[in-house]
Structures are given as C-alpha cells and as structure tokens.
Chains A and B, each alone.
Chain A
Amino acid sequence: GQQLNQSPQSMFIQEGEDVSMNCTSSSIFNTWLWYKQDPGEGPVLLIALYKAGELTSNGRLTAQFGITRKDSFLNISASIPSDVGIYFCAGLTWMDSSYKLIFGSGTRLLVRP
C-alpha cells in the first residue's frame, strides 16, 4: 500500500539553527500537508500544498510540493524553543471518488536554548 517515508526521525539542534525535514513516497499525491503536534495535543496544520512545484511560506516555515508529486520538504529557519514538537507530513490522494490521507511517522524536533 501507499507509504510515506519521513526523515529524519528526530533532530536535536541549537536555537537559531535552520531545520530541514522531508517526506518521500513511491506514490503520487494530489496534496501535501505539514502538521505540528505538541505533547498532549492534536496536530495543528502548518502548511498545505496543492500543486506540484509549489513553494509556500508561513512565517519562518517554508514547504515545497515536489515536482514529481512524490515528495515534499519542510524548512524551519532560525529555530526557537517553541518549535519543539513532532512534525508530520501527510499526503492526500483521490481515486475513484474516494480518497486516502496518509501520515508520515513524524520528525521529533528538540531545540537547545
């Protein structure tokens, strides 16, 4: 079945550093999404990407929808302590009036002040 490979699994960085994480798949997706989950909370949508090649920013976050439609990356610039959390990618695909939304396994980000 469809799978998303998200990497890295975890990152421990110094405050102020830039962060990059990505998701790849052997399947094509129509939409890529990036979520952040804080402990004890549900995921919060950060960025949604709808078109191959699309590059979208949300403050210090930038995400891109890969041209092949099989991958996406998320960059965080100048990390701060509140960036700590688990970041999930998700790919949405429509087939025959039904859809699948698949989540990556997450990237745990720790920021050292």
Chain B
Amino acid sequence: KAGVTQTPRYLIKTRGQQVTLSCSPISGHRSVSWYQQTPGQGLQFLFEYFSETQRNKGNFPGRFSGRQFSNSRSEMNVSTLELGDSALYLCASSSTPGAGEQFFGPGTRLTVL
C-alpha cells in the first residue's frame, strides 16, 4: 500500500507570495490533517478534512486555508507569506476523523525569503 505523498518536497518563496501544497492520502483513507512543524513551536495542528469538509481547525490565521477533493486528495494554501511561515508542512491521513493513528507524509519544506 503506498504511503502518504506530498508535493512538492521543497519550496522557496518570497514574502507576500502565496503557495499551494498538495497531499495524497493512503488509499482508502478519507481524513487528511495538516500540521506545521518548526523548531520553536514543534508540531502544530492546522486543520483536518474529511469527505471534503473541514472537520477541525487549529489556531492559525485565515491566511492558511485548505480543501479536499472527492478523491480525498487535499491541498493547503498559504496567502501573503510571511518569514515566520517558513516550516515543514506535514500532511497525515487516517481512516476516520480524530483517529489517533495518523500516517504522516514526508512533508514539504517551505522557505520564505
């Protein structure tokens, strides 16, 4: 069974730009969660999507948004990038929302200059 895939793996943007990250969950998993990982703040939950609906949301500004498609693939968008948005963005899939057994992708390393 293929694991969670994320594209791109690395991205460099400048302040003010926007970025879209993509995540394909494990086949059969319908829940996708997004996390931001930074050295200072650790792993922080952004949001979770299930059946194309946002089911849960963390404490991030509205510049961070996401969506899920009918094939369970998910995208995350960050608008008006700030230097502090530089981080590893991780996607995790699970069979149901709020399942502790989440399977993570390798992440997208975003650098904002």
The docked-state distance in angstroms from the alpha carbon of A106 to that of B9 is: 23
Against B, the Cβ 8 Å flags (1 = close, 0 = not) of A72-113 are 000000000000000010101010001111111110000000
- A-B pair number, CB within 8 angstroms: 48
Partner of B90, one of A33, A43, A106: A43
Chain B interface category by residue count: 10 to 19
The docked-state distance in angstroms from the alpha carbon of A43 to that of B42 is: 12
Q: Which applies to chain A's interface (DSSP): helix, strand, loop or mixed?
A: strand
Tell yes or no: A40 within 8 A of B by CB: yes
The docked-state distance in angstroms from the alpha carbon of A50 to that of B101 is: 11
A positions within 8 Å CB-CB of B:
31, 33, 35, 40-45, 48, 50, 88, 90, 92, 94, 98-106
A103 and B105 within 8 A (CB): no
B positions within 8 Å CB-CB of A:
4, 33, 42-45, 56, 90, 92, 97-98, 100-107
Residue of A nearest to B58 (CB): A100
